[in-house]
Structure 1
Amino acid sequence: MSTTTNDLTVLPMTEADIPLMTQLLHKAYYSPTGAGISGLLYHTPPSQRSLDATTAQRLHAFRTDPAAHFIKAVDTANTDGTIVAAARWDLHPHARSPSAVAAAAAIADDELIPEFRADVYRALFGPLRAAHAEVMGARPHAHLVALVTDPDEGRRGAGGALVRWGLERADERGLDAYLDASPMGEGLYRKSGFEVVRRVPFDLGEWGDREGGVVEHVVSFSPLSFLLHGRESRLGCFIVACFLVLMSVVQCMWRKPGPSPRKIVAA
């Protein structure tokens, strides 16, 4: 199934697209100047052998993991079907086993390409994966595993289109949606209905960047994605609005004076 908007079409990826996703991730996140997290994470630029190994891991998930859905935003104005953005959504319609949750949180040795600083990689991604396991546990949900937009094709709405694709599938299955995000991506996800439930700090100075400060990744989930983004959104939002108004009236009648509740929870 495809979705078209603003000269962009969202389509399932093919096996031939997976290497292009690896190239986009490399283009977007590796900094040749050595600035920020990129400069700490890599000893040297990734070799083609390492990029091929990373692609092979994605291909394995593409071929064997029924939960994994790889999608792309394609420029319909370009006859060669240029990929503007790519994403991986994992859809878990049923509760996962404790062993599956633990396996997803672990960092496998084959993730650590030779150009990575293994200690930095574990310090950065270990807490993010642990937060996923702690926040969502074994319960069913949709998980935005990866999202990347070509840096040369920004501000076209491609990232938002791929986020909406996942939220619509979450809606169809009645699932919460989950992701973790860098500070740069936080605004997009808030606009899509996600709420911050935890902040995971990463101190650049601790790993050698004395001027970088602390970078906070956010852990977010959208408990109302199936109402806000699906086919039945108008009816769903009307029902929820009526329910919330009723609950507000009841709370006003019974609530004792105290601090106002907060929607955003930070840890």
Structure 2
Amino acid sequence: MTLRPATPADLPPILLLTAPALENYTLATFTHPFRHLHPASFTAHASLSPTKKLLHPGTNGYNLVTTKDGIITSWAFWRHPQPTDNTTKEPQKEDEKEEESPLLYPSLSPARLSLTTSHTTLTKSTIKEPHTYLSALFVHPSHKRNHLGSLQTLWGLFHSAKKNLPVYLLASAEGELLYRSLGFKVIAEQSFPSIHEMPEEDLRREIEILGKEVVESQFSDLAKPKLMRWEGTVDDEIFQDPEVMAKILSVSPSDF
């Protein structure tokens, strides 16, 4: 198994890797309540974020993949946010508004997406210090329990520790156990929109399509992601495995 930087040529297999995970990802399924009616729309919209991260990572982003026999088995996106990332939100650009249009992506509820984005921004605004952020981590379903998620995370932790930077992430219910095992601690729980925050017209439309019971359960049965923080040193016990460290040290970018 190999750990290496991702390249734009890796986009197709990365999209194939992320698609199965997003089918059951709490945030994605909440913002796409009509995904069962428009599965192709859901898949297309779900590809927007990985595509942007890989093709336009910016000066503070870093993409990393693991491969086995030339096949990509996991993908992670790390970044060093600028201070403005945590305190302000830039005005949405016209092309981004178009990307979220229900006409282009009928599986999406723009009202839910807007509310969720607002709640996520409030949670992340608690981070006031220079830090590293694990923005995405996906492991192929056929390669889970092979410690790929741990390796991808340990890579970022080690290089962050070298710079004395804490690490933050927003953990799903599925990922929280892994991050706890590596020393992350929960510092906040992400709030989620209440059904009472939905604009009346949007709520009425969703109830007409999905039924009142389904809509209410989608708002009430959410597993809330946790904002987690890690702060350690390169001498921590999690960095003592020689085989793991050989892989981590094989990818040591100067720009991370």
TM-score of the two chains, using structure 2 as the length reference: 0.69
Name the counterpart of 2:217: 210
Query: Is 1:61 equivalent to 2:56 in the alignment?
Result: yes
Which secondary structure does the structure 2 equivalent of 1:71 belong to?
Answer: strand
Higher relative contact order (CA 8 A, sep 6+): 2
Name the counterpart of 1:221: 229
Amino acid at match of 1:191: S
Deviations 1:204-225 (A, max 9, x none): 8778152762422100011225
Amino acid at match of 1:57: K
Shift of 1:98: 3.4
Q: C-alpha separation between the residues in 2 aligned to 1:82 and 1:209?
A: 41
* CA RMSD between the two structures: 3.3
Q: C-alpha separation between the residues in 2 aligned to 1:216 and 1:86?
A: 23
Shift of 1:190: 0.5
Tell me: CA distance 1:187–1:66, structure 2 relative to 1, closer, same or farther (3 Å): same
Q: C-alpha separation between the residues in 2 aligned to 1:85 and 1:27?
A: 13
Query: Is 1:84 equivalent to 2:76 in the alignment?
Result: no
Name the counterpart of 1:161: 151
Q: C-alpha separation between the residues in 1 aligned to 2:137 and 2:235?
A: 23
Name the counterpart of 1:112: 100
Q: C-alpha separation between the residues in 1 aligned to 2:90 and 2:63?
A: 18
Which secondary structure does the structure 2 equivalent of 1:188 belong to?
Answer: helix
Tell me: CA distance 1:41–1:195, structure 2 relative to 1, closer, same or farther (3 Å): same
Tell me: CA distance 1:150–1:99, structure 2 relative to 1, closer, same or farther (3 Å): closer
Identify the match of residue 26 of structure 1 among 19, 26, 29. 19
Q: C-alpha separation between the residues in 2 aligned to 1:52 and 1:84?
A: 17
Identify the match of residue 88 of structure 2 among 102, 120, 135. 102
Tell me: CA distance 1:97–1:197, structure 2 relative to 1, closer, same or farther (3 Å): closer
Amino acid at match of 2:158: E
Shift of 1:52: 6.1
Tell me: CA distance 1:152–1:198, structure 2 relative to 1, closer, same or farther (3 Å): same
Q: C-alpha separation between the residues in 2 aligned to 1:197 and 1:38?
A: 23
Name the counterpart of 2:167: 177
Shift of 1:9: 2.0
Shift of 1:147: 0.6
Identity %: 19
Identify the match of residue 196 of structure 1 among 182, 186, 189. 186
Q: C-alpha separation between the residues in 1 aligned to 2:233 and 2:91?
A: 24
Given that 2:26 and 2:223 are in contact with CA atoms closer than 8 Å, whether structure 1 keeps it comes out as no
Larger deviation: 45-54 or 121-130? Answer: 45-54
Given that 1:87 and 1:162 are in contact with CA atoms closer than 8 Å, whether structure 2 keeps it comes out as yes
**Which one has the bigger strand percentage?**
1
Deviations 1:10-54 (A, max 9, x none): 2110111123223322221125xxx96554422222447546654
- 1:11-22 matches, cutoff 5 A: 11-22=4-15
Structure 1, unaligned runs of 5 or more: 1-7, 234-267
Amino acid at match of 1:213: D
